[in-house]
Amino acid sequence: MHTALSALSSRIPLALGLSFLIISPADAYIDPGTGSYIFQIIVATLFGGLYALKLYWQQFKDFLTGRKKPDSTERPPQPDDHPSAKK
């Protein structure tokens, strides 16, 4: 999580590179996968940061309400578990 946040700050200029999003006509012969791949790399930092904030906020709320973390013995402990994956 800390890594994600520090990565966010170092890549803000990259994120600002979103200025490419001025509309241009799509060329049907260009493989959209290439642009999609690069787009994901660029916005990943933003989404990673938002996700880290969301987890911190959840932990803060859990701390205030005294709620415990779900039992992690249900399956092998994982380094960065995803809350939406829990049933």
Partner 1 sequence: MTVNHQDRHRASFRDPAGFVFSRNGILYRQIQAIGQEDYEHFMRSGLYARLIEDGLLIRHEETGEPPLDPEGCFRVIRPETVRFISHPCEWSFSQLRDAARAALALQSLAMNYGMRLKDASAFNFQLHEGRIVLLDTLSFEKARADEPWPAYQQFCRHFLAPLALMSRVDVSLGRLSQLHLDGIPLDLASRLLPLRTWFSFQLLMHLHLHARAQSSLASDTPHPAAGRKVHPQAVRGIVDGLQSAIEALDWHPAGTTWAEYYTNTNYSETGFTEKRELVAGLIDRVSPGTAWDLGANTGVFSRLASERGALTVAWDIDPAAVERNYRDVRSRGDTRLLPLLLDLTNPTPAFGWAHTERASFADRGPVDLVMALALIHHLVIGNNLPFDRVAAFLAGLGRHLIIEFVPREDSQVQRLLAVRKDIFTGYSQAAFEASMACRFDTLAAMPVRDTKRTLFLMKSRECRC
Distant-in-sequence contacts of 69-75, Cβ < 8 A, 24+ apart: none
Give the angle subtended at the CA of 48 by the CAs of 78 and 22, to the nearest 5°: 150
Q: Does 12 bind partner 1 (CB under 8 A)?
A: no
Q: Does 16 bind partner 1 (CB under 8 A)?
A: no
Q: How far is the CB of 73 from partner 1 (least distance, A)?
A: 13
The residues binding partner 1 (CB under 8 A) are: 1, 3-4, 7, 11, 14, 17-18, 20-27, 30-52, 54, 75-76, 78, 80-82, 84-85, 87
